[in-house]
Amino acid sequence: MSKTISPLAPKSYPALPAIEGVRIATAEAGIRYKNRTDVLYVSLARDTAVAGVFTRSKCPSAPVDWCRKNLGKNGARALVVNSGNANAFTGKKGIEAVKLTADFAAKAAGCRASQVFIASTGVIGEPLDAARFKGVLESCEKKAKPLAWVDAAKAIMTTDTFPKVATRTANIGGIPVTINGVAKGAGMIAPDMATMLSFIFTDAPIAAPVLQALLKKGADKSFNCVTIDSDTSTSDTLLFFATGAAAKRGAPAITLPSDRRLKEFRQELEGLLSDLAQQVARDGEGARKFVTVKITGAKGAISAKRIAMAVANSPLVKTAVAGEDANWGRVVMAVGKAGEPADRDKLAIWFGDIRVAAKGARDPAYDEAKTTAYMRGSDIIIRVDLGLGRGEATVWTCDLTKEYVEINGDYRS
């Protein structure tokens, strides 16, 4: 955890209500950090459905392999997350460490090891000493409480400067259900330590395949639209748990993704995921500005997304934003390098509401002073219209500052 809190941190945190069937505990296992919690344990009611979306890395961590293997089996009864060590690229020892962690948690929760979901974030390549969890998880099971959401968000932080939580309510068949989520980021990745992790919980009675469909679609519109530095972690994990406890209050069981009663739930879920994803960008390593890149008029949605990512990942665009420089030439450059259909002479670019370029040249009404004033704000919107079609995309990122280099450079010499 960094000592300096991001200037883009939220001014206050929402109070997250309890979700029936979810109990939370955190602990200090001393894996890497001293004097802070580094283990999150979540106890889940019987018959909790689970869905997951994971890193696309070809070198995923041992916990990611474990979660993938156990999705679609027999639900979830416990979640164990540690910070400080990613248990990635740890070979056989890494697989054994995951198995041992699951065994400890299974014993504590009274379930099968395959019902334990695990995520790890931290250093890559260091063996994780799972023996440290012995006793810790049992004690967590005993002390777990329904309202420790901010504690949960804190225990999984690495270089994050603030805990990330969000909550929503939705009606399903006239019955209100709750969705709570926590996340950590600090980048898609972090200094020695890595990973975007997020865990979402609801009491809605939604079957696992439906939950998976909702999560997949929601992730594409939220976490998959965030980039800090174009580097993808070995360990990115987004899990969604549904205890189904709202069924007792009359909420209908949802077994089909096409069920119309999901309409509001889907909206609220997507809002919550976007909220958490934007918090991740607001806490990007060294971030001083939150940047929204909106592409319109592209040939199609995929093309728009690729162009948006090319702009959002461009070190030159990001350093210009850090420097409060309305350098739209770099936006042109980034659009040009994306490899997607673009016609220089149809391009238009805005910073906020100020159109700076149109029809292949600087806007005749361009006003340097007005644009520079806009760039001094902490929330910057860069919009590009390609003038070719109806493809649109929005992605979120942050600026690239000297602090990013400092955090990740660890100038040892």
Cβ of residue 295: shortest distance to its own copies, in angstroms?
Answer: 14
Residue 160 has what DSSP assignment? -
From the CB of residue 361, how many other CB atoms can be counted at a distance below 10 Å? Answer: 11
Name which of 70 and 314 has its Cβ closer to its own copies.
314
Is residue 28 within 8 A of residue 82, CB to CB? The reply is no
For 275-337, give the DSSP string: HHHHHHHHT-TT---EEEEEEEEESSHHHHHHHHHHHHH-HHHHHHHHTT---HHHHHHHHHH
Q: From 161, 160, 178, select the one nearest 169 (Cα to Cα).
A: 178
The reply to whether 101 belongs to the active site is no
Name which of 103 and 324 has its Cβ closer to its own copies.
324
Name which of 37 and 313 has its Cβ closer to its own copies.
313
Cβ of residue 152: shortest distance to its own copies, in angstroms?
Answer: 26
From the CB of residue 301, how many other CB atoms can be counted at a distance below 10 Å? Answer: 14
What beta strand segments (E) does 324-378 contain?
348-351, 354-358, 361-362
> Any known ligand binding at 121?
no
Structure-token match 């206050």, residue found: 12
For 46-112, give the DSSP string: EEEEEEEEE---SS--HHHHHHHHHTTSS-EEEEEEEEEE---S-HHHHHHHHHHHHHHHHHHHTS-
Cβ of residue 412: shortest distance to its own copies, in angstroms?
Answer: 5
> Any known ligand binding at 180?
no
Q: From 299, 293, 294, select the one nearest 391 (Cα to Cα).
A: 299
Cβ of residue 157: shortest distance to its own copies, in angstroms?
Answer: 18
Name which of 206 and 331 has its Cβ closer to its own copies.
331
> Any known ligand binding at 258?
no
- CA dist., res. 145 & res. 44, Å (int): 11
Name which of 145 and 402 has its Cβ closer to its own copies.
402
Name which of 46 and 359 has its Cβ closer to its own copies.
359
Residue 142 neighbours by CB under 8 Å, 6+ apart: none
> Any known ligand binding at 413?
yes
Of 90, 121, 195, 202, the active-site residue reads 195
Cβ of residue 307: shortest distance to its own copies, in angstroms?
Answer: 10
CA angle 198, 200, 206 (to 5 degrees): 145
Cβ of residue 226: shortest distance to its own copies, in angstroms?
Answer: 15
Burial grade of 125 (CB within 10 A; 0-12, 13-18, 19 or more): middle
Name which of 15 and 405 has its Cβ closer to its own copies.
405
Is residue 225 within 8 A of residue 304, CB to CB? The reply is no
Is residue 257 within 8 A of residue 210, CB to CB? The reply is yes
Phi, psi torsion values for 300, nearest 5 degrees:
-160, 180
> Any known ligand binding at 158?
yes
Q: From 44, 46, 50, select the one nearest 208 (Cα to Cα).
A: 50
Is residue 158 within 8 A of residue 6, CB to CB? The reply is no
Cβ of residue 375: shortest distance to its own copies, in angstroms?
Answer: 8
> Any known ligand binding at 2?
no
Binding site for substrate, by residue number, is 158, 184, 195, 285, 408, 413
Q: Which of the residues are catalytic?
A: 195
Where is the binding site, in residues?
A: 158, 184, 195, 285, 408, 413
